[in-house]
Amino acid sequence: MSSRVSSIKIAERTARIEVSLRRLPPTMVIGGVILIVFLVIALTAQIWAPYPAAKTGTGRPFENPTSKHLFGTDQLGRDVFSRVMLGTRIVLTLSLSSTLLATILGGLLGLSSGLIGGWFDQLIMRLVDIMISIPFLVLALLIIAAAGPELSGGYLLIILAVAIVYTPRITRMARSVAIDLKTRDFVTVARARGESTLSIVWHELLPGATSVLLVEFGVRAGYAPIFIGSLGFLGFGVRPPTPEWGLMISENRSAIVSAPAALFSPGLALALLVVGLNLFTDGLARVLGRTVRPGT
Amino acid sequence: MLLLYHSGQWRGTVNIVLKTILSRVFLAMITLLAVSMFIFWAAEVLPGDIAARVLGREATEEAKQAFRERLNLDRPVHERYLIWLSGAVRGDFGHALASQRPISEVIGPRLKNTIFLALYAFILYVPLTVFLAAVSALNRERPLDNTISLLTLIGLSLPEFVIGTLLIYIFAVNNPIFPVMANVQRAKNFWDAIRMTTLPAITLTIVMAVYSVRMLRDNLIEVLESDYVRMATLKGLPRWRVVFFHALPNALVPALNTMALNLAYLIGGVVIVEQVFVYPGLGTQLVEAVFLRDAPVIEAIALLVSLIYISANLFTDIFSILSNPRLRSG
């Protein structure tokens, strides 16, 4: 019985992979290319960036773009081009790790909550309701305020704040998948076999929830750079002189008259990254046969 | 409604509707209570010794003790929560740690400014969204529709602080039509305040519109293909009448729900837009309070904002129950 079920599952999976390989949506290709460019920059900028990110006095303060400083310089004479390029790794790391953490936590919580049901499900869902009822930037600021000065400005706090804001939303999504799947035969069979809850979540529910979680990951990751940039812009992100784009925009605001490039180049990088992530997710959702819904 | 109720056959339906609405109101109140506990816990219990944090490590033990007594910090947590909550229900949130002024006094004018900004943005937003969505839906898959889609996609990818800064660059620095900073506190009269608030309001409008134009367009296209709209067209009604009076109302209802959910993004948007334009509203106050670790102010604003968000969702829930017969039994 169990071998037949798993062979059907394998057949389904291979069929899906064939469909996805035959033709990729153009949005996925464009998004993918943008993301690859950002990935390459993130991985290699250390080697070819003209100046170190924190090196002051590479030129006069607030210089306009020249061949020496492609995006001009900031208030301390730091090279904005180098800072934007070197910042890519930080923005990508923070965005992806926080979203990944939230997807894993929310996926496991939601799937087990839907599967187990009863008081456990009730408890988790009420907690989710509470977290979702606080608008998410306010929730993030609450977490940052609660964390205290020892943690503030650190990568860990930002990753945690974004992950805590995202987790309940992903939990809710994963739970609805679990509730949908748990009445299926293969779950009943697994239960009859005496599999543990965790094993059912891992072996029976997760394969069915993968496409939902992947799209959810993409949607959340697409907003994460804006979220993290917003925290940086408000002054609650990473500590200066870290070249995080939101923080750079806030630092270079006084350059709006004399050297606007210093201000708008990190903004442009941020927008391009988000476009890439959103296009890729849109294509991914099409391949997986899901619709991307705007939501909370 | 009452008349229908007494006519007998409607009684059952009205009862179900009332019951559903009352249960939603009850649920919203429970949620708000739980949210208040969470906020209190996060702002006041988690950070540990507030006295040491506010007064600094060098403060004498007596000074810390006096501070704790004044803020009831020497009492057990649940008592402090109840004292805070009973005050909050009456609109008394205590005193700000930084300025020592009553919080209602600190927040009051800020709240008024934020409501002014939000209303201004909303007045721009509704006609703009409806207009763009209608133009898109009527020119489906044609260049105009594709242009609007592309613009909304770009708008979705731009954070509020980039849009706001871009507007400042274009309309305040290069063409000084509007001020760079929106200090409405100093406005000489109503029109001066309007002029100062225009750029922040436009930023918010753009952020809100990109979320809803696309959705409203899709709804409109769906409704425009329904039989009753075709009927209205075949009756010989002018196109604009069909779109605005027959199709739009039915396309707006499902959009409303998602718009209420998106309010969570918009409230975040207000915080950032206010910061970009140094606008003296609740958002800048919240940011300031988090910097100063001013727990009572953080609690008051977080609770207020959650109250607004929860009630907006409750009202759209009730509205969709009332307007959609299929949801009435839910």
Spell out which residues of chain B touch residue A281, defining contact as CB-CB under 8 Å: none
Residue B273's pLDDT is what?
A: 94
Residue B1's pLDDT is what?
A: 46
- Distance from C-alpha of A208 to C-alpha of A198, rounded to nearest angstrom: 15
Residue A249 to residue B157, Cβ atoms within 8 A:
no
Among B209, B116, B110, which Cα is nearest to B163's?
B209
Interface of B with A in 202-221 (CB under 8 A): 211, 214-215
Q: Is residue A48 within 8 Å of residue A88, measured between CB atoms? A: no
Residue B166 CA to chain centroid, in angstroms?
Answer: 23
What is the sign, positive or negative, of the torsion defined by CA atoms of A157, A160, A163, A164?
negative
Residue B330's pLDDT is what?
A: 41
Q: Which portions of chain A are predicted below pLDDT 70?
A: 1-22, 291-296
Burial B266-289 (b: 16+ CB within 10 A, else e): bbbbbbbbbbbbebbbbbbbbbeb
Assigned token pair, B325 = 């017969």
Residue A138 to residue B306, Cβ atoms within 8 A:
yes
- Each residue's pLDDT tens digit, A246-261: 999 998 888 888 888 8
- Count the neighbouring beta carbons within 10 Å of the beta carbon of residue A96: 16
Strand ranges inside B43-153, DSSP E: none
Spell out which residues of chain A touch residue B157, defining contact as CB-CB under 8 Å: 271-272, 274-275, 278
Q: Is residue B274 within 8 Å of residue B305, measured between CB atoms? A: no
Of A134, A148, A249, the CB nearest to B161: A249
| Closest Cα in chain A, distance from residue B236 (Å) | 36
Residue B48's pLDDT is what?
A: 67
Q: How open is the CA angle B211-B199-B244, to the nearest 5 degrees?
A: 45
Interface of B with A in 184-203 (CB under 8 A): none
Residue B149 contacts A where some CB pair is shorter than 8 Å: no
| Closest Cα in chain B, distance from residue A46 (Å) | 26
Interface of B with A in 287-326 (CB under 8 A): 287, 289-291, 293, 295, 298, 301-302, 305-306, 309-310
Residue A11's pLDDT is what?
A: 64
- The contacts of residue A231 (CB under 8 Å, 6+ apart) are A140, A144, A158, A161, A237, A246
Average pLDDT per consecutive 10 residues, chain B (330 residues; last block may be shorter): 51 75 91 92 77 70 76 79 87 82 89 91 88 87 86 87 92 86 80 89 90 84 84 82 81 75 77 93 92 88 91 84 60
- Distance from C-alpha of B300 to C-alpha of B296, rounded to nearest angstrom: 6
Residue A293's pLDDT is what?
A: 55
Residue A138 to residue B291, Cβ atoms within 8 A:
no
Residue B272 to residue A233, Cβ atoms within 8 A:
yes
Burial A2-34 (b: 16+ CB within 10 A, else e): eeeeeeeeeeeeeeeeeebeeeebebbebbbeb
Residue B158: closest C-alpha in chain A:
A271
Residue A6's pLDDT is what?
A: 59
Residue B253's pLDDT is what?
A: 76
- Distance from C-alpha of A147 to C-alpha of A109, rounded to nearest angstrom: 23
Residue B46 contacts A where some CB pair is shorter than 8 Å: yes
Residue A119's pLDDT is what?
A: 93
Of A130, A144, A145, the CB nearest to B31: A130
Spell out which residues of chain B touch residue A292, defining contact as CB-CB under 8 Å: none
Residue B154 to residue A249, Cβ atoms within 8 A:
no
Q: What is the DSSP letter of B178?
A: S
